[in-house]
Amino acid sequence: MKKTMAIIVIFAVLLGLGSAASGSAADGKVGSKAPMFKIERSDSTVALDDMKGKWVLLQFWASSDADSRIACKQYTMLEQNQESSNSGERFHLLAINLDRSERLFREIVRRDGLSAESQFFIERSNAEKFIDDYHLESGLSSFLIDPNGRIVAKNPSEQQLIELAIN
């Protein structure tokens, strides 16, 4: 009985070490592979898998979260500034809105002067997957994802994004 239990424990430890070493887990944390998703809307579809080879700034926001709304505006301005500079495009902004109303989302995009191309509204029923995958239970966040699909920063600062544009 003790041998059987010891074998089970050793197997469990080895299995745990093997999965940790593979680095393939997608858990929404810095250093891990970004959880994949696909969002469809009437005029376009965006999938994180289609963005491989590019830097992606994935930002979650809601009208009820002032910090995330301010960050969305700042990230939009940074993206627009990089596009107008001679340095070329360095990152793609994908801003995902978690409001309950698409009408409210559209009005805020209009009022705040956000780029409609980078703004995506998701239904509440689909929001739970993002909340779980990206650990948004304690607040809305932003994630900088490298060309290999790995999360390299959470809530990156303007300075981090400017440095990315320089390199």
Q: How many Cα atoms within 13 Å fall on the side-chain side of residue 42?
A: 2
Mean predicted confidence (pLDDT) in 96-113: 94
Domains annotated on the chain, with CATH: 25-166 (3.40.30.10)
Number of Cβ atoms within 10 Å of the Cβ of 104: 15
CB–CB of 75/57 below 8 Å? yes
Residue with tokens 């930002």: 59
All residues at 6 or more sequence positions from 143 whose CB lies less than 8 Å from its CB, including other chains: 28, 34, 57, 58, 59, 134, 151, 153, 154
**3-class secondary structure, 145:** strand
pLDDT at 61: 94
Nearest to 45 by CA among 111, 117, 113: 117
pLDDT at 139 over 60: yes
pLDDT at 26: 63
Hey, what amino acid is at 21? Answer: A
pLDDT at 4 over 70: no
All residues at 6 or more sequence positions from 79 whose CB lies less than 8 Å from its CB, including other chains: 57, 91, 92, 93, 115, 118
pLDDT at 11: 40
Please, which pLDDT band fits residue 54 given cuts at 50, 70 and 90? very high
| Averaged pLDDT score across all residues of the chain | 81
Choose between 23 and 80: higher pLDDT: 80
Percent of the chain surpassing pLDDT 90 = 53
